[in-house]
Amino acid sequence: MTEATAAAIAARALPLVDLTNLEDDCKPTDIEKLCRRAVTPHGPVAAVCIWPRFVGQAATQLRGSGVRVATVVNFPAGGIETLAVVEEARAAVAEGADEIDLVMPWQAFLDGRRGFAETQITRVRAACPDATLKVILETGELGDALLVHAAANMAIAGGADFIKTSTGKVKVNATLEAAEIMLTVIEEIRREGGREVGFKPAGGIRTVDDAGAYLAIADRLLGANWVSAAHFRFGASGLLDALLAALDGKEAATGEGY
């Protein structure tokens, strides 16, 4: 990849990043640093994605920056009962969250309890009507392509604004194969006259090459003008350094983390 190509990909990808810290030992000082990083010399990222306990801090620090505040619920295992998840989401929005990343109850889905999984999505949607709702399918745990396809359709039917691959907390996270399936579902719904739905790969996306590969699939399936922060996000912690290095004409080490 030439420097010019890397810089062009980085310029597209940087405003799509949900800059993430979901480490178990995350502290307020880490959130302060994350929020500072979110506003770069090349422009702001799309959002920060953080634990619910830090939403108020991030919302205050980022006010007026253009960076949105995203948080996670039913995270990471996807096994919390629906009433508690709904209250978690409602409290996060009250604290200032703009976006909710909900882990679909994927084990219930695999066990044949699809109604339970869809009900949880619809109830969180109803509780937070003004928040952007991203539903995490945990595609690496679903495994089978047909199950990923079915879960994507179910999440969208339940009210998801975005479908997201992964938590970043399991063995297999974002993959190009899962992206192809999920973006195909989005394209099918759009072709049939349905509403626009976004896509978020997350977990293990660390390099400009990684970002470029996902963007290429979206361009091929949905057209080169479809990708924007309204429709496409990268969930990552290590990717930003690589993007900034490419934009500055430097070579970045592979980023670590989510």
239 to 101, 112, 136, 212, 258: CA distances (angstroms): 19, 36, 19, 12, 9
Which is catalytic among the residues 101, 161, 210, 241? 101
Structure tokens that stand for 193 in this block: 């006259």
| Catalytic member of 98, 134, 161, 200 | 200
Cα Rg, the chain, nearest whole Å: 17
Respond yes or no: is residue 101 known to be catalytic. Answer: yes
Q: Evaluate whether 140 touches 201 at the Cβ level (below 8 Å).
A: no
30 a catalytic residue: no
Q: Which of 134, 164, 210, 241 is catalytic?
A: 164
> Active site includes 200?
yes
Per-residue exposure over 243-258, b if at least 16 CB sit within 10 Å of its own CB, e if not: bbbbbeeeebeebebb
Angle, CA of 58, 90 and 45, to the nearest 5°:
35
Task: List the catalytic residues.
Answer: 101, 164, 200
